[in-house]
Chains A and B, each alone.
Chain A
Amino acid sequence: MTEQPEAAKSAELPQEIPLGPYGQFLKDLGIGSTRLPDSVGTAGKVETIEIDGMDLHQAMKSVRGSETRMDFLLMVSGVETNDTWDSVYHLWSYEDSTKELVVKVRVPKASVAEGKLPAVPSITPFWPAANWHEREEYDLLGIKYFGHPYLRRLMNPWDWEGHPLRKDYKQPVDALNDKNPHSMR
């Protein structure tokens, strides 16, 4: 844990990375994006871009369209970093095996009010592949995908308290916990 802030700082130092092909494609459509350090994929380095949450619908629809054909949404995953909540989208193309793109929506922790959940727009209404992935991330990390038609817990029971993958998660004292004096065990 002690090494992490230094690594994060050094990664953030180069502020201006020139736009990649997908960043340029979105810029031509009037959608702003920031290029992040490349991640690793099947074809070596993969372009990784950050998009503002409000532009997500437009960006995903454009990238999925007939020009770039990024029509394969592999997964939606949530990541908790030291100061942001990230929603990460991995995109491939079914036809062109060289295409790969990682899209991130980052919600700064400072912008989330106490007791509220970070909010990211849901892409389920036009892309059903995201449906269960978004429900899972809501369940485990507490990222609220607004606009989702059925945002309920997927892995945990419906009455579970808290979001287990968070760093500040406290395990509830329940019937199976030895610390509970009323435990059945």
Chain B
Amino acid sequence: MATENLPETAPQLPSFVRSTQYAEDAQLKTDEMIINMGPQHPATHGVLRLLLTLDGEIVRHTEPVVGHLHRAQEWQAQNRTWYQYQALIDRVDYLSGMFTSWALARTCEELDGLKIPKRAEYLRVIMSEMNRITSHLLWLGTYLIDLGAMFGFPFYPFRDREKLLDLLEAVSGQRMMFNYIRIGGVQSNPPLGWFDKLKEFVDTFPSCIDDYEAIVTENPIFLKRTKGVGVMSKELAMSYGVTGPCLRASGVPFDLRKDRPYSVYPEIDFKVISLTGQGDDTWARYICRVAELRESNEIIRQCIEKIPGGTTEELRKKREECKACGKADCANCGGDLAIMVKKQNSGIRIKAGEGFVPVESPRGVLGTYITSNGTDKAARIAWRNPSFSNLSVLPELLVGAPIADIMSVFGSIDVILPDVDR
């Protein structure tokens, strides 16, 4: 015990105050204590258990215990046909079901060498960007609840998310487990009047984001809880394989949509949000996600203008005029306007081979490593989930943090526990 380093006159504190800062300054050693947090903690949005080793209020070591939601998705892939498995994989990441479907579909299509019609690709981009907005909005609302803003604010993101969920339900039949993106295309064209409603949303949504930012971004309480908390350096993020907004907030402009462009993203003009010198902290991650809301909104606006065949009403009218001439390059009823390149049934087979072709989900690089032996079932499917890699960095971020910051840091990573456990 280094008594010579103690201050001569200790600050006068009431005896019931146990100031952690004081203990740190005076180099007092307290007994370490192991505390269990979870698995049913209201702020984990799922079931995550943390074994915390605490020194007073300071976290010295964290061991996340995952697997409470393990549903053996990989085992199920080997025991179900491709067609049956497609309906299951929305449950891997229930907040962004479009992306999990797309990850499987994209790898299968690359293995099979299928070329997807342009209209289907545009519909995929529209739906998945809508899904990205809903996912980020849910994160925004619940993150503020985690930080203690229980009343008022969280209703605004949920109100706007509800509009998008209604639109997604109208086109796919489900609010969250869409099963809309299939191997070879998409499930259906949107119903009549759908594009008008989407346009209405896209026009009004930027003002909604302005409202969120007016309430949250410069809020002193929010700044105190997030500025300088959970600093993740660029090197740390890269060594742990962190992707998505968490990585971009640390200053690495890595976005699959730009870096390794797929689908129709090369035809769309959008920016990759990457923040350098903004502290690499939870506040930067918040800024990054809110900026992505605007970018996704712009992508949807451009897609509505550029989609081949136009809205569903226009497409129907063109097809009636053309009387379905059947020519492959016809501008009114040609192959580009189809939504599915290959009719699906339960006997669908994927060519033998192996591949890993991921997509950029709201949380990062999401993909499946598929080994197919040419039968109607997969030989092996291994998932690469962004939440899984992003969560593994949590123990590093929590070293030396007070116990009150745990949920601030954990929430800012935007982990979905079913995505971790599969």
**A interface residues with partner B (beta carbon < 8 Å):** 1, 3-4, 7, 11, 39-43, 71-75, 77-80, 88, 90, 94, 97, 102, 127-129, 131-133, 140, 153-157, 164-165
Residue of A nearest to B375 (CB): A3
Judge whether B389 and A165 touch: CB under 8 Å.
Answer: no
Judge whether B259 and A154 touch: CB under 8 Å.
Answer: no
The answer to whether residues A75 and B369 also contact, given A42-B262, A90-B356 and a CB cut-off of 8 A, is yes
Residues of B within 8 A of A102 (CB): 356
Residues of A within 8 A of B239 (CB): 127-129
Residues of A within 8 A of B260 (CB): 42-43, 97
Residue of A nearest to B254 (CB): A94
A124 to chain B, nearest CB (A): 11
Residues of B within 8 A of A1 (CB): 375
The answer to whether residues A79 and B353 also contact, given A71-B238, A131-B392 and a CB cut-off of 8 A, is no
Q: A79-B371, A97-B259 are in contact. List 4 more A-B contacts (CB 8 A).
A: A79-B379, A88-B369, A128-B240, A164-B75
B283 at the interface (CB under 8 A from A): no
Q: Complex: how many Å from CA A94 to CA B242?
A: 11
Judge whether A39 and B70 touch: CB under 8 Å.
Answer: no
Quick check: which of B31-39, B218-226, B294-302, B380-388 contacts chain A, the rest being far away? B380-388
Judge whether A156 and B70 touch: CB under 8 Å.
Answer: yes
Task: Provide the main secondary structure of the chain A interface.
Answer: mixed
Judge whether B384 and A75 touch: CB under 8 Å.
Answer: yes
Task: Provide the main secondary structure of the chain B interface.
Answer: mixed
Judge whether B356 and A40 touch: CB under 8 Å.
Answer: yes
Q: Complex: how many Å from CA A7 to CA B356?
A: 20
Judge whether A72 and B371 touch: CB under 8 Å.
Answer: no
Name the 4 nearest CB pairs between A and B, nearest first.
A40-B355, A129-B241, A77-B382, A97-B259
Q: Complex: how many Å from CA A23 to CA B238?
A: 24
B203 at the interface (CB under 8 A from A): no
B171 at the interface (CB under 8 A from A): no
Residues of A within 8 A of B75 (CB): 164-165
Residues of A within 8 A of B356 (CB): 39-41, 74-75, 90, 102
The answer to whether residues A79 and B380 also contact, given A40-B355, A90-B369, A129-B239 and a CB cut-off of 8 A, is yes
Q: Complex: how many Å from CA A39 to CA B149?
A: 49
Of A7, A42, A80, the contact of B374 (CB 8 Å cutoff): A7
Q: Which of B283-316 contact A (CB under 8 A)?
A: none
A20 to chain B, nearest CB (A): 16
Q: Complex: how many Å from CA A43 to CA B389?
A: 23
Of A3, A40, A90, the contact of B373 (CB 8 Å cutoff): A3
Judge whether A72 and B241 touch: CB under 8 Å.
Answer: yes
A47 to chain B, nearest CB (A): 13
B24 at the interface (CB under 8 A from A): no
The answer to whether residues A40 and B110 also contact, given A94-B254, A155-B70, A155-B421 and a CB cut-off of 8 A, is yes
